[in-house]
Amino acid sequence: MLTSRYDDALLYASELHRAQVRKGTSIPYVSHLLSVSALVLKSGGDEDQAIAGLLHDAAEDQGGKPTLDAIRDRFGDRVANIVSDCTDSWIEPKPPWRERKEAYLASLPAKMPESLLVSLADKTDNARAILGDYREIGDDVWDRFTGKKDGTRWYYQSLTEFFSKNYPSPLAVELAHTVALIAAD
């Protein structure tokens, strides 16, 4: 059962990300946040995890530690800890892309299972978007990504290996299937 806390998180996420769009598109970024939260709920996550799904990029993209502190004050330690686990960089400017992704992958085994569900939902929604855009515009999709084609495919294949082994679930199977379609030439 969702409470008014979820409504508050939805409004807060919308306010934080209002001016943001999905990479290389005009699609409002909040669509990704809604999808992640929905995947969390469909996969058995609780309200805190669903709220973290809405806010998983807030600290990383919208203010760093002060935003995380605001999330902690507004939604509690558990939500803030999950959001922190989903954040791949606290440094501005961010470290180089490959270094940041390698560090995130290396950190996954130490993350709480409740955080892994939110991360998996995030990566699954991102993979869905990549596949959809790839089918629509072809190889031009890779120009949107710092890692380009090879780096992006490496990252998602690495995520798939981790989640398939360490968080086996229907969502991990969907990620693996989607990434296999992205990787097929």
List, in order, residues 6 or more apart from 170 with CB less than 8 Å away. 43
Distance CA 149, CA 158 (A): 14
115 within 8 A of 86, measured Cβ to Cβ: yes
Q: Taking the model in full, what pTM does it have?
A: 0.94
Distance CA 57, CA 31 (A): 13
Q: Closest by alpha carbon to 32, among 19, 22, 42?
A: 22
pLDDT at 15 over 90: yes
- Give the mean model confidence (pLDDT) for residues 144-172: 96
For residue 156, what pLDDT is reported? 97
Phi, psi of 21 (to 5 degrees): -125, 160
For 31-75, the pLDDT digits (tens) are: 999 999 999 999 999 999 999 999 999 988 888 899 999 999 999
Residue ranges of domains in the chain, CATH in brackets: 4-183 (1.10.3210.10)
